[in-house]
Structure 1
Amino acid sequence: MLCALGVSGIAFCVVEGRYAKMPIAPGRLFVRWGWRNVPIMMINRTLLFFHNFAMIFYVPIFLQVIGLPTVTSSALIIPFLSMAAISSTVVNATASKYGYVRTICSCGIAIIPIGMGLMSTLNQKSSIGRIVGYSLISGLGFGSATQITMVIAQVGLPADELSTVTALVGAAPTLGGTLGVAVVGTVINNAYKQTVQRSAIASSLIQNSRANTTISLNPSDVVSSISSLAPDSPIRKVLISAYVSAWRKGCYSLVGVAMLQLVLCAMMRRVEFDSSSKDSEGEGSPRSVVVEDAKDNAMVVHT
């Protein structure tokens, strides 16, 4: 699948660059240093939804594994999504009022590895309050950079490029969601399977033909496998511990992704709303945005 993705990606770039009269993704948007916010924000937005879909998909599974009911496990993703929506609105309003867009975006992304690090500490003894609290922190980091990445990509571009950039950056969540579920799922599933296979208790029960219960090593069946076992069963404890360990590694992979996002933010072109225009021209006047040109000199673009 990855090979097919690479080949199709190269073919798309060749066709767009050499044969398309009206390319969907013009190469000029990705090769000009003065427009570097476009590719940086595309990657950052993709990685943001890498986190989002991985959390939405795997948090309920993890919570069921550690013993919470299905309905409760599904409902506990609501704090993450609610905080993401609230923080996105608040951050956009704050950036519009006070400026310093790059700083605000970077600070929001910096919260993500903190939230993922805290989520990695969850286990079968974790309380509902702890799960909700860590989910709120993770949602705060995700939501703080969700919509503002679109603004950063658009600022400083010619008007005839805005629709193309908006479409490209807007398509990033789909790619990010697909990659997030696939990559994090691979990390969790492989870690779970390896841990179970190394367990002496699990191996002996799985290979014992006289055992009354058949235990599947398929990570997709982990919830049904655990629910079929008695609460005091040794194999149940092994499977839960194995999945908790695998979950921790999945969270660590998300921490690594968030650190990559911070590196990209450091390369970002400075974007600030010019509050002086509001003071001097009145509330109804157009806002202006201060950005850097290719030589890192400040210029003002009216919006």
Structure 2
Amino acid sequence: LALQWGGIEKPWSSADVIATLCVAAVVACLFVAWEWYKGDSALVPLRLFRNRTLIGSSLASCFTRMAFFIAVYELPLYFQAVKGHSPTKSGLDLIPITLSVVITGGFIGFLISKFGRYWHFIILGPIVGAVGFGLVFTLDENSSWGRIIGYQILMGISIGCNLQTPLLAVQADMAKEDIAQATSVVTFSQFLGGIIALAIAGYVAMVAVMVEDV
């Protein structure tokens, strides 16, 4: 609620925004304390976070999902506001990034099953993503469709590299009795990244509109 309200519906200094942020922080601390108290019988035993694979996979999943949600949120706004496309047409304009995510994800899964290597792709994804997302910021009303499609493909490749790879990594590295809980942590990280991304993207879009109106 704080991320949704702050700067859009209510100022960041409002009591409601500050209160929800404080409540969220307190609840998070209480949850961690309870999990520590329960030990191995906890919902998510804290000892799992001693595993670097789990930490790295969770971070990769979180940031990958953030990148994906921001892309599919902001690109249609660009197509509608800058290119003058309808909502339906702007959805079709996302086909390059969607197809590249699906194709890359399937191809990466095949390579992992064949060679048993996964860290290479987890590292490759952010590198390609830095290039693709950086190039997207150069788009304007005169950008050619070749550039737009090419940049989307780069973004899709970066997202496809890490869409399912972190899950495979923890399943391969964790002890058998910890696989279910470790997988749930990575999945939660994906959802958390999506929530944060939508809040950020919505706020940035709203601020941009307000600046244009001024």
Normalising by the smaller structure, the TM-score range is 0.7 to 0.9
Deviation of 1:79 after TM superposition, in Å, equals 1.6
Computed over aligned residues only, the root mean square deviation of the Cα atoms, in angstroms, reads 1.9
Aligned mates of 1:49, 1:127 — CA distance in 2? 27
Deviation of 1:45 after TM superposition, in Å, equals 0.3
Match of 2:45 in 1: 26
Aligned mates of 2:181, 2:159 — CA distance in 1? 25
Deviation of 1:191 after TM superposition, in Å, equals 4.4
Deviation of 1:192 after TM superposition, in Å, equals 4.5
Q: What number of residue pairs does the alignment pair up? A: 194
AA aligned to 2:164 is: Q
AA aligned to 1:43 is: L
AA aligned to 2:75 is: V
Aligned mates of 1:128, 1:3 — CA distance in 2? 46
Aligned mates of 2:23, 2:79 — CA distance in 1? 34
Deviation of 1:85 after TM superposition, in Å, equals 1.0
Match of 2:80 in 1: 64
Aligned mates of 1:81, 1:133 — CA distance in 2? 13
Contact 1:95 1:104 in 2 (8 A): no
Q: TM-score, normalised by structure 1?
A: 0.59
For the pair shown, which has the larger CA radius of gyration, 1 or 2?
1
Q: Kindly tell me: are residues 3 and 188 of structure 1, through their superposed partners in 2, closer, same or farther at Cα, counting changes over 3 Å?
A: farther
Aligned mates of 2:98, 2:149 — CA distance in 1? 11
1:168-247 matches, cutoff 5 A: 168-194=185-211, 196-197=213-214
Aligned mates of 2:194, 2:43 — CA distance in 1? 21
- Alignment of 1:92 with 2:109, yes or no, is yes
Task: Name the stretch that deviates more: 179-188 or 51-60.
Answer: 179-188
Aligned mates of 2:99, 2:23 — CA distance in 1? 36
Q: Give deviations 1:60-98, integer Å, cap 9, x for gaps.
A: 122100122222111111221111111011112112323
Give the alignment partner of residue 31 of structure 2, picking from 8, 12, 16: 12
Q: Kindly tell me: are residues 29 and 19 of structure 1, through their superposed partners in 2, closer, same or farther at Cα, counting changes over 3 Å?
A: closer
AA aligned to 1:127 is: S
1:1-303 matches, cutoff 5 A: 1=2, 2-19=21-38, 22-30=41-49, 32=50, 35-66=51-82, 67-194=84-211, 196-197=213-214
Aligned mates of 1:172, 1:57 — CA distance in 2? 19
Q: Match of 1:155, SS?
A: helix
Structure number with higher relative contact order (C-alpha < 8 Å, ≥ 6 residues apart): 2
Task: Name the stretch that deviates more: 19-28 or 171-180.
Answer: 19-28
Aligned mates of 1:112, 1:68 — CA distance in 2? 26
Structure with more of its chain in helix, by fraction: 2
State percent identity of aligned pairs: 25
Aligned mates of 2:173, 2:117 — CA distance in 1? 15
